[in-house]
Every structure is written in structure tokens, then in C-alpha cells.
Amino acid sequence: MFANILLMSVPAGGEAGNPIMSFLPIILMFGVFYFLLIRPQSKRQKESEKMRTALKKGDHVITSGGIHGTIEGIKDNDILLIKTATDTKLHVGRSAVTTVKSK
């Protein structure tokens, strides 16, 4: 009786499935990864780069090291002179700025 049940489950004729249907789960997983991980990250990166190129004298900024200050000047288009206290000025790279505080 058990042997009859096993023989009934064998597909007849050796039908081959559609190859596209076998790759469909992989394609769907790639689509999900793209829309949930890759696309938002590239969007944030573009916004961050746009913010850094728009920096100008007088902006209040926060660096990646947590330093709060005001931009006093820009040298060579990639080095910022940031005033943090009355007599304290720091030279930092433009890429170190993470946030521009609203005025």
C-alpha cells in the first residue's frame, strides 16, 4: 500500500518547468533589496552631497566629530574655517560636515 502511494506522486512524462519561473524568486528578491536598501541609500548620499556643496560663510554646522560652529571662511573649495568659540577657529574638511543647523 505504501509503495502505491509513492508511485502515484512521481510526475508522469518528466515535464520541465519554465526556466523564467525558476528565476522569478531571485529577481523579486533583487527588486526588494533595490527598493528597500540601495535606492534610499543613494538618495541620502545625493542629498548629503548637495548640502555640502551649498555650504557658505555664516552657516551654523555640526561636524561628524560633534563640533558645533559657524563657517568663517572657505579655502581651496574643500577646507572650511569654522569658528567654535570667541578665539577658536578650526580647519576641517568639507566632507566632515554632517548637518547644517537652521538659522
Query: In the chain, what are the domain boundaries?
Result: 20-54, 56-103
**pLDDT number for residue 32:** 94
- At 19, which helix (H) or strand (E)? helix 19-33
Could you tell me the pLDDT band of residue 86, with boundaries at 50, 70 and 90? confident
Q: Which of 15-29, 64-78, 80-94 has the lowest mean pLDDT?
A: 15-29
Q: How far apart are CA 77 and CA 38, in angstroms?
A: 30
* CATH T-level topology, domain 56-103: SH3 type barrels. (2.30.30)
Q: How far apart are CA 87 and CA 10, in angstroms?
A: 85
**pLDDT number for residue 11:** 57
| Mean pLDDT in residue range 33-51 | 93
| Mean pLDDT in residue range 61-70 | 94
Query: Does residue 88 carry a pLDDT above 60?
Result: yes
Could you tell me the pLDDT band of residue 8, with boundaries at 50, 70 and 90? low
Residue in this structure with the C-alpha cell 509513492, named with its chain if needed: 6
